[in-house]
Amino acid sequence: MAANLMAKTAYLSTFIFRLDRIRIPIWIMSLTFFTLVVPTAFKDLYSSQQERDAMAQTMANPAMTAMTGPADLSNYTIGVMTAHQMLLMTAAVVGLMSILLVTRHTRAAEEDGRLEMLRSLPTGRLSYLNAVLLVVTSTCVGIALINGIGLFALGIESIDLEGSLLYGTALGATGLFFAGVTAIFAQLSDSSRGTIGYSMAVLLLSYLFRAITDVSNEALSWISPLAWVTKAEVYDTNNWWPVIIMIAASIVLYAAANYLNAIRDLDRGFLPSKPGKKHASRFLQSPIGLALRLQRTGIISWAIGMYVLGASYGSVLGDLESFFSESEAMKQLLQPAEGVTLIEQFIPMLMIVISLLATVPPVMSMNKLRGEEKKERIFHLLSRTVSRTKLLGSYFIISIVNGFVMISLAALGLWSAGNAVVEGGLSFEMIFGAALSYYPAMLVMISIAVFLMGYLPKLASMIWLYVFYSFIVLYLGGLFQFSDWIGNISPYGHVPQTPIEDFSFMPLLLLCMIAFVLTVAGFIGFNKRDIET
């Protein structure tokens, strides 16, 4: 009986690998790149123990502990520094990867009808779920081995073999854990949006609970799975038990997901769904109302996240002067300028990160139209009295408003938290001026998404490579000393670095003009091309 439930699991795993033959290698290569490039940069930037001790002093405050977790700051080697500043964040990204992959091949496949077709073939009831988990598990094992061996191969003295393998295993174990969490929510929820929402909520709450308890009561932080990653104390004591606990918890989650999958009906979830209204409002009967309703949960979640992100950065500004004044290494990351405070020098670097993260939700909103097109849903709208211009315009309006709201909330969080901890307060106009100066660059990104939607819809997701490129060359440009022209390829590279540079309208006006031209061209292309699937 058990064999029948698992029939053709290996065959389906091969099928899933084939579907994700590009997606999975990109995830692995991206994660590995960040893992290996940072300790190499740290070795050059912090070549002496004195400089590393200065960085340890920078990290020795509750705000930084909340962001990156605890570490042995008295033994701040290159290895400890790498694990302290990179492991938790990278583990969270691995968790995100597992959430997206498992949702794509479980609840999303069920919504699209693919799972029903596969169930009609001689496959077991539990085969597809376990095939998905097998693929994700193999991906996590690959990440663990490649990152672990890659770190050791760097040949850095404090990055030994055991610590490197533990580093990689911690990443892989995090992926396994959140794959199990997502597999369970794929059974509980009746939609892919719900599955991603609940799983992301667990990931976010795990991080926030760990952040609070690491500062207030470290014993309670054991409740958070992400705290298990930091408690491994990689390259210090190399404690394997937290990672073993995470792997054991993953096995339990896998088993629970299989049980729930075995007793539920196809296209159904265990969590009750509320019935919709009998009559839709007039706003919902419009294309923009429908698009906004479909994206409501994601927009609200991102809005909260951006405010918290800004507040997190703002909370560290109070100790900035005392922590960075004696660190020559950190001063190298900040643009030198006369007549401005260290906080004002730090603001542009924060704004680059904030603006690029704030670009993600509006671009997602714009690309949502491509997702609806692939699922053949926009045919129903275009068959009514809805023009293509009105349909594309609805998503475009949501995107540009979304972007403005996201970067504004991040700036508000940065100002409100920073104003409370910085002696003398922060200038509201300075913070919002620095943040909103990146809005034209964000409009260029949205307009590129519109252009791709009009002419190259199958390449719409390529916009993320441009966003990723912008992050690398601008955030890490000072660290790796890239040439100016490399940064200027990104629209964000043309934004005046206020308040350390004089504000200029001309580059922002040019960015707005470029965004306008690309948007108009995208609308023309969308009206002329065939609707694709």
Per-residue tokens: 313:
């950065």
> What confidence tens digit (pLDDT) does each residue in 446-472 have?
999 999 999 988 888 888 888 888 887
Q: How far apart are CA 264 and CA 125, in angstroms?
A: 11
Q: What is the mean pLDDT of residues 109-133?
A: 82
Q: What is the mean pLDDT of the chain?
A: 84
Q: What is the mean pLDDT of residues 272-293?
A: 77
Whether 373 shows a pLDDT value over 70: the answer reads yes
Q: In whole angstroms, how large is the CA radius of gyration of the chain?
A: 24
Q: pLDDT at position 247, please?
A: 96
- pTM for the model stands at 0.80
Per-residue tokens: 139:
């991906």
Number of Cβ within 10 Å of residue 97's Cβ equals: 25
Per-residue tokens: 300:
């609200």
Q: Which of 480, 478, 513 is nearest to 493 (CA)?
A: 478
Q: H-helix or E-strand containing 24?
A: helix 23-45
Whether 189 shows a pLDDT value over 70: the answer reads yes
Least confidently predicted of 95-109, 301-315, 335-349: 335-349
> What confidence tens digit (pLDDT) does each residue in 195-233 have?
888 898 898 888 878 887 887 788 888 999 999 999 999
Whether 176 shows a pLDDT value over 90: the answer reads yes
Q: pLDDT at position 327, please?
A: 52
At 427, give phi and psi (nearest 5°). Answer: -80, 120
Whether 328 shows a pLDDT value over 60: the answer reads no
Domain locations in the chain?
1-266, 284-533
Least confidently predicted of 90-94, 123-127, 403-407: 123-127
Torsion of CA 59, 63, 64, 69, to 10 degrees: 120
Q: H-helix or E-strand containing 486?
A: helix 484-488
> What confidence tens digit (pLDDT) does each residue in 482-530 have?
677 777 888 988 888 776 666 778 889 999 999 999 999 999 999 998 8
Q: How long a stretch of residues is the chain?
A: 533
DSSP H helices, 217-274, are 225-230, 241-263
Q: Which of 188, 167, 175, 159 is nearest to 101 (CA)?
A: 175
Q: How far apart are CA 420 and CA 48, in angstroms?
A: 35
Q: How far apart are CA 48 and CA 74, in angstroms?
A: 14
Q: How far apart are CA 476 and CA 280, in angstroms?
A: 48
Whether 478 shows a pLDDT value over 60: the answer reads no
Q: Are 198 and 174 in contact (CB under 8 A)?
A: no
Per-residue tokens: 440:
């034209």
Q: How far apart are CA 333 and CA 320, in angstroms?
A: 14
Instruction: Place 412 in a pLDDT band, splitting at 50, 70 and 90.
Output: very high
User: Residues near 395 by Cβ (< 8 Å), separated by ≥ 6?
Assistant: 291, 365, 366, 368, 369
Dump the DSSP string for 86-103.
IIHHHHHHHHHHHHHHHH
DSSP letter at 188?
H
Number of Cβ within 10 Å of residue 392's Cβ equals: 23
> What confidence tens digit (pLDDT) does each residue in 300-309 have?
888 888 888 7
Question: What is the torsional sign of CA 442, 447, 453, 456?
Answer: negative
Q: pLDDT at position 374, please?
A: 80
DSSP letter at 336?
P
Instruction: Place 63 in a pLDDT band, splitting at 50, 70 and 90.
Output: low
Whether 103 shows a pLDDT value over 80: the answer reads yes
Q: pLDDT at position 385, please?
A: 80
Q: Are 91 and 229 in contact (CB under 8 A)?
A: yes
Residue with the bigger pLDDT between 502 and 163: it is: 163
User: Residues near 517 by Cβ (< 8 Å), separated by ≥ 6?
Assistant: 447
Whether 479 shows a pLDDT value over 60: the answer reads no
Q: pLDDT at position 234, please?
A: 93
Q: How far apart are CA 406 and CA 364, in angstroms?
A: 13
Least confidently predicted of 25-29, 298-302, 398-402, 431-435: 298-302
Q: pLDDT at position 316, please?
A: 67
